[in-house]
């Protein structure tokens, strides 16, 4: 694979996260980062095509650029259903530029979650407490209900923040009891949060950190087996914080450029703007606006589904760009609290399944309910996956008959070729790094032998033992690396942690 050129820009960034930032009228909790790229050999033709697109909409340029703010937030109040013909044509032409030569990565990060993570910085997942679920629930509650005293306490009175959180969650539980059937899960979650808030430290810093934007991109490059590349970031002034963040994550080479001179940066900016505005429109529509609303479910307004054929086709094209184009596990990346992102993807998937706008109109009054049910399924599926603490590392496309696992040991796709652990003289002590299973559910271990990691099959009689240890790891309690004594007796095979 040849050299790739990648270009980065962002939307809804906050150089400082403070009370003024979060209470501003145009505040969005979601920070959006977009990276677009292509093989160097395709750059000239793609730039030429993007130049023609910009020339067509020269009358909408600002300071010599076609920027994402050319489409105002109010024009997407009900998603693409709100677009007039001019904005619809612009987005049709823009999304039409994306073909199989273009690689797209984007990250959607909650700013409030960033602060909550600092509150729980010293707390890890254990067998008894799922801290990821705890952080998720607290962030979700603050994003959803926006309690003003806590929002102020996040920045102005962190010494009393824990007491404020306790007071809020206690009060919310009492409110939820007014509709206990609908709010039962939330009541349970908030009750669990109250049980552990007695031992939380205060925040150390609330400056925004850009590293998380690039963590997912590094994984994306590895998944796509892209090793030779350059990353160009929109120039932001003297400090170059974004460039430094990319370098901290391990990306090289990284440079800055003025967006005026880079079609790639302008392309990333426009895509980030479209994603951001759809996210904000969804959040605005689904946000509770009064205490009375908080005990009832919020449904996407009917106006979102009053679509013509062009508007529906635009959703389908957005789905192709955001989900299907050069598909990868790490094509998109989000924090623990991912609700806004999940709702965004659910909207694209929901719209994509319709054959025509006429099909939507046949049951228009119920589409909000159908979408709500579909979104709830997506959120429930995510929450279940979040409880799985085992890391996911996609296997890079390869023509070889093996791959290297996270510990650096060779693992064959054909499990029968994996060597079996030899238990010498009925007893073998190993330095075990991890325990797992093949796709056929054959138990396997990765061990260190001198300076090398090796992966072995172990007897199927130890399947239950291996399953127990994987179960512990799945709940956040990883017992490895450890010394394990494997033994074979007349009664069978045994494994003991020393």
Query: At 287, which CATH number?
Result: 3.30.420.10
Identify the residue with better confidence: 384 or 137. 137
Burial of residue 167 (CB within 10 Å: 0-12, 13-18, 19+) is middle
pLDDT at 295: 67
pLDDT at 398: 65
CA angle 478, 482, 487 (to 5 degrees): 120
Instruction: Please tell me whether residues 409 and 330 are part of one structural domain.
Output: no
Taking residues 408-422, what's their average pLDDT?
A: 92
pLDDT at 18: 60
Instruction: Please tell me whether residues 367 and 420 are part of one structural domain.
Output: no
pLDDT at 485: 93
Measured on CA atoms in the order 264, 30, 136, 285, is the torsion positive or negative?
negative
Phi, psi dihedrals of residue 39, rounded to the nearest 5°: -65, 140
pTM, to two decimals: 0.81
Measured on CA atoms in the order 168, 174, 175, 179, is the torsion positive or negative?
positive
Query: How many Å apart are CA 120 and CA 140, to the nearest integer?
Result: 15
Lookup result for tokens 């729980």: 120
Instruction: Please tell me whether residues 408 and 270 are part of one structural domain.
Output: no
Instruction: Please tell me whether residues 416 and 332 are part of one structural domain.
Output: no
Contacts 24+ apart (CB under 8 A), 408-415: 408/453, 409/433, 409/446, 409/453, 409/454, 409/455, 410/454, 410/455, 411/444, 411/455, 415/439, 415/440, 415/442, 415/457
Domain boundary among 351, 386, 421: 386
pLDDT at 291 over 60: yes
CB 155 within 8 A of CB 298: no
pLDDT at 194: 86
pLDDT at 394 over 70: no
Taking residues 14-20, what's their average pLDDT?
A: 59
* CATH (domain of 472): 2.40.50
Instruction: Let me know if residue 492 belongs to a domain.
Output: yes
pLDDT at 296 over 80: no
Instruction: Please tell me whether residues 65 and 99 are part of one structural domain.
Output: yes
Instruction: Let me know if residue 127 belongs to a domain.
Output: no
Nearest CA among 244, 469, 416, 226 for reference residue 326 = 226
Average pLDDT, the chain: 88
The pLDDT tens digits of the residues spanning 30-87 come to 899 999 999 999 999 999 999 999 999 999 999 889 999 999 999 999 999 999 999 9
Identify the residue with better confidence: 199 or 481. 481
**Structure-block tokens of residue 478:** 């990883």
Q: Residue 96: pLDDT band by 50, 70, 90 thresholds?
A: very high
pLDDT at 23: 62
Instruction: Please tell me whether residues 424 and 479 are part of one structural domain.
Output: yes
pLDDT at 156: 61
Instruction: Please tell me whether residues 37 and 99 are part of one structural domain.
Output: yes
Query: How many Å apart are CA 378 and CA 348, to the nearest integer?
Result: 12
pLDDT at 393: 64
pLDDT at 287: 82
How many residues in total does the chain contain?
Answer: 498
pLDDT at 8: 98
Taking residues 99-103, what's their average pLDDT?
A: 98
Taking residues 209-238, what's their average pLDDT?
A: 89
Instruction: Let me know if residue 136 belongs to a domain.
Output: no
Q: Residue 273: pLDDT band by 50, 70, 90 thresholds?
A: very high
pLDDT at 382: 85
pLDDT at 409 over 60: yes
pLDDT at 151 over 80: no
Instruction: Please tell me whether residues 476 and 344 are part of one structural domain.
Output: no
Number of structural domains found in the chain: 2
Identify the residue with better confidence: 398 or 149. 149
pLDDT at 43: 98
Query: How many Å apart are CA 161 and CA 19, to the nearest integer?
Result: 14
Instruction: Let me know if residue 195 belongs to a domain.
Output: no
Query: How many Å apart are CA 293 and CA 298, to the nearest integer?
Result: 8
Taking residues 177-195, what's their average pLDDT?
A: 86
Instruction: Please tell me whether residues 375 and 464 are part of one structural domain.
Output: no
Query: How many Å apart are CA 115 and CA 408, to the nearest integer?
Result: 34
Instruction: Let me know if residue 134 belongs to a domain.
Output: no
Instruction: Let me know if residue 298 belongs to a domain.
Output: yes
pLDDT at 495: 93
Cis omega (within 30 of 0) on the bond before 285? no
CB 295 within 8 A of CB 182: yes
CB 66 within 8 A of CB 273: no
Instruction: Please tell me whether residues 304 and 229 are part of one structural domain.
Output: yes
Q: Residue 202: pLDDT band by 50, 70, 90 thresholds?
A: low
**Residue 335 belongs to what domain range?**
4-112+206-386
pLDDT at 161: 78
Identify the residue with better confidence: 481 or 325. 325
Percent over 70 (pLDDT), the chain = 88
Residues 6 or more apart whose Cβ sits within 8 Å of residue 304: 78, 79, 81, 285, 367, 368
Instruction: Please tell me whether residues 325 and 293 are part of one structural domain.
Output: yes
CA angle 222, 226, 231 (to 5 degrees): 100
Instruction: Let me know if residue 94 belongs to a domain.
Output: yes
Query: How many Å apart are CA 344 and CA 347, to the nearest integer?
Result: 5
Domain boundary among 352, 386, 420: 386
**Structure-block tokens of residue 25:** 């009228």
Instruction: Please tell me whether residues 350 and 478 are part of one structural domain.
Output: no
pLDDT at 397 over 80: no
Instruction: State how far the alpha carbon of 54 is from the alpha carbons of 66, 166, 417, in Å.
Output: 7, 53, 56
pLDDT at 257: 95
Query: How many Å apart are CA 399 and CA 162, to the nearest integer?
Result: 54
Taking residues 432-449, what's their average pLDDT?
A: 91
HSE, side-chain direction, 13 A CA sphere, residue 427: 0
Taking residues 294-303, what's their average pLDDT?
A: 85
Q: How many CB atoms lie within 10 A of CB 127?
A: 10
Query: How many Å apart are CA 346 and CA 371, to the nearest integer?
Result: 8
Strand order across the beta sheet in which 332-334 lies = 254-257, 229-234, 4-11, 30-39, 103-110, 332-334
């Amino acid at each position: 694979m040849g050299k790739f050129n990648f270009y980065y820009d962002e939307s809804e960034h906050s150089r400082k996260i403070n009370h003024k930032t979060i209470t501003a009228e145009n505040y969005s909790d979601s920070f959006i980062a977009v990276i677009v790229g292509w093989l160097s050999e395709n750059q000239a033709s793609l730039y030429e095509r993007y130049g023609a697109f910009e020339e067509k909409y020269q009358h909408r340029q600002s300071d010599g650029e076609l920027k994402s703010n050319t489409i105002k937030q109010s024009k997407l109040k009900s998603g693409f259903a709100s677009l007039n013909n001019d904005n619809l044509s612009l987005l049709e032409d823009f999304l039409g530029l994306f073909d199989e030569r273009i690689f797209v990565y984007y990250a959607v990060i909650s700013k409030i979650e960033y602060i909550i993570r600092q509150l729980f910085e010293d707390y890890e997942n254990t067998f008894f407490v799922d801290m990821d679920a705890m952080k998720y629930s607290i962030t979700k509650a603050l994003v959803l209900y926006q309690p003003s005293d806590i929002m102020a306490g996040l920045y102005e009175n962190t010494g009393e923040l824990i007491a404020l959180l306790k007071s809020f969650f206690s009060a919310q539980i009492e409110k939820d009891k007014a509709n206990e059937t609908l709010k039962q899960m939330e009541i349970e979650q908030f009750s669990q949060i109250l049980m552990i808030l007695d031992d939380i430290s205060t925040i150390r810093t609330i400056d925004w950190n850009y590293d998380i934007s690039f963590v997912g991109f590094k994984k994306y490059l590895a998944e796509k087996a892209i090793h030779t590349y350059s990353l160009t970031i929109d120039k932001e002034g003297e400090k170059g914080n974004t460039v430094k963040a990319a370098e901290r994550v391990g990306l090289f080479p990284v440079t800055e450029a003025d967006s005026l001179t880079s079609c790639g940066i302008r392309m990333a900016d426009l895509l980030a703007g479209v994603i951001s505005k759809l996210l904000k429109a969804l959040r605005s529509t689904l946000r509770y606006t009064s205490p009375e609303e908080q005990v009832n479910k919020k449904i996407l307004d009917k106006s979102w589904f009053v679509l013509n054929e062009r508007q529906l086709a635009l959703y389908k094209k957005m789905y192709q760009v955001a989900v299907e184009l050069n598909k990868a596990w790490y094509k998109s990346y989000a924090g623990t609290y991912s609700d806004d992102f999940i709702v965004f993807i659910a909207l694209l998937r929901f719209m994509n399944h319709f054959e025509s706008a006429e099909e939507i109109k046949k049951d228009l009054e119920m589409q909000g309910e159908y979408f709500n049910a579909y979104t709830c399924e997506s959120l429930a599926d995510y929450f279940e996956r979040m409880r799985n603490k085992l890391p996911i590392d996609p296997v890079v496309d390869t023509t070889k008959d093996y791959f290297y696992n996270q510990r650096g040991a060779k693992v064959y796709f054909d499990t029968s070729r994996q060597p079996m652990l030899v238990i010498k003289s009925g007893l073998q002590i190993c330095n075990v790094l991890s325990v797992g299973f093949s796709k056929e559910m054959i138990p396997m271990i990765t061990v260190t032998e001198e300076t090398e990691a090796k992966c072995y099959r172990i007897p199927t009689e130890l399947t239950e033992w291996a399953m127990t240890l994987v179960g512990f790891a799945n709940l956040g309690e990883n017992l490895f690396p450890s010394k394990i004594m494997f033994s074979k007796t007349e009664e069978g095979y045994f494994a003991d942690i020393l």
